[in-house]
Amino acid sequence: MAISMDKMLSIYPDALRLRAKRTELLAANIANADTPGYKARDIDFNAAMQQASKQGGGGLKTTHPGHIQGGGHAGANAFDDFVRFRVPQQPSLDGNTVESHVEQAKFAEHAIEYQLTLKNLQGRFKSVTDAIKGGGN
């Protein structure tokens, strides 16, 4: 019986790419906390994952000619449609919308979620390895 890597990995490749993209955005927000006119951005993670799951775990659909085709899973640009500007609770006078305490909390929460995704993926690989070895040794 052949093992389908796409079925085994399910949605995890897209989830990890999406989490990596969100990490970049949150880090950029924190780095630009004092940049006049900088607009804080984030990804609508739930909407992106819902679209990926509708695709059957086979990757996000491309919605722009610049998106990477093929390979079954989404390229980094496939998440651009889910990037949103964050609405600040207290906008600054210089037009910057970064609220450092909010961004740091989001980054910390996201780091835990990223680790959880990796842990779940590790469990998938362990299950397959155990099955190949013929038991839970």
Give pTM, 2 decimals: 0.74
pLDDT mean across residues, the chain: 82
CA distances from 101 to 53, 92, 134 (A): 32, 14, 50
Domain parsing of the chain, residue ranges: 7-133
pLDDT digits (tens, 9 = 90+) for 109-136: 999 999 999 998 898 888 888 888 886 5
Q: Where does 39-99 have alpha helices with state H?
A: 45-54
pLDDT digits (tens, 9 = 90+) for 92-107: 999 999 999 999 999 9
